[in-house]
Chains A and B, each alone.
Chain A
């Protein structure tokens, strides 16, 4: 089945540093989504991407839908302590009710 490889698995960074994480897929996706999950909470949508090559920003976050439609990255600029959490990428192929495929997450720790 479809698989997403998300990297890195975890990151420890200093406050103020920029962060980059990415996902690659074995197959083509039509939609890429990035979520953040805090402990004990459901994932919160950060950015949704619908077109190959699309580059979208949400505050300090920027994500891109890869041209090949098999990858996506998320950048966080000038990290702050509240950026701590687990970031998940997810992709979907338009086909009936096919569900999202999730990456395994990137656990981000920010050192003040």
Chain B
């Protein structure tokens, strides 16, 4: 099946710093990518939908200036958590949709803000 990679898998940073997470579709092109956040023992919460070459669409309650998304190519989307605070600590998962409308997920990034 299709593979989506995510980097880094785990990051620990100090409060106030910015963290960039990369998401790549390795063997297919994805015009649409998605970023999710997941809290322990809960389902995935969609943060934003990212289209190649255009601005991301953010879900209600998600600050676009806080969570910067760039979808520079058909295989790469990045999420930058700016001025991270402890409450931003979470499990962030990206997903990419192929031409058959099937969504594949990356392995996730565990962010811990001290």
B97-114: which residues lie under 8 A (CB-CB) from chain A? 100-108, 110
- Check B106 against A88 for contact (C-beta < 8 Å): no
A32 and B93 CA atoms in complex are apart in Å by 20
> How many chain A residues touch B (Cβ–Cβ < 8 Å)?
23
Contacts of B1 in A (CB 8 A): 45
Q: Is the CB of A42 within 8 A of B103?
A: no
| B49 adjacent to A99 (CB under 8 Å) | yes
- Please indicate the chain B residues that have their CB under 8 angstroms from the CB of A102 in the complex: 43-44
User: Are the C-beta atoms of A42 and B107 separated by less than 8 Å?
Assistant: yes
B32 contacts A44, CB within 8 Å?
A: no
CB distance from B25 to the nearest CB of A (A): 13
With beta carbons under 8 angstroms apart, the residue of A30, A42, A45, A48 that contacts B106 is A42
Closest to A92 in B: B101
Chain B contact residues: helix, strand, loop or mixed = strand
In the complex, which residues of chain B have a beta carbon less than 8 angstroms from the beta carbon of A44? 105
Q: How far is the CA of A30 from the CA of B101 in the complex (A)?
A: 10
Inter-chain CA distance A40–B9, complex, in Å, is 10
Find chain A residues with CB under 8 A from B67 CB: none
Least CB separation from B48: chain A residue: A99
Q: Is B6 an interface residue (CB 8 A)?
A: yes
Q: Which residues of B contact A97 (CB under 8 A)?
A: 32, 49, 51, 57
- Tell me if A99 and B46 are in contact (CB < 8 A): yes
Known A97-B57, A99-B34: A45·B104 in contact at CB below 8 Å: yes
CB-defined A-B contacts under 8 Å, sample of 23: A30-B101, A31-B101, A31-B102, A33-B103, A35-B105, A40-B91, A40-B108, A40-B110, A42-B105, A42-B106, A42-B108, A43-B44, A43-B105, A44-B105, A45-B103, A45-B105, A48-B100, A48-B102, A99-B34, A100-B103, A102-B43, A104-B43, A105-B43
Besides the known contacts A33-B103, A99-B46, A99-B49, 16 further A-B residue pairs in the complex with CB atoms under 8 A apart: A30-B101, A31-B102, A40-B108, A41-B108, A42-B6, A42-B95, A44-B105, A45-B104, A48-B100, A48-B102, A88-B43, A90-B103, A97-B32, A97-B57, A100-B46, A102-B44
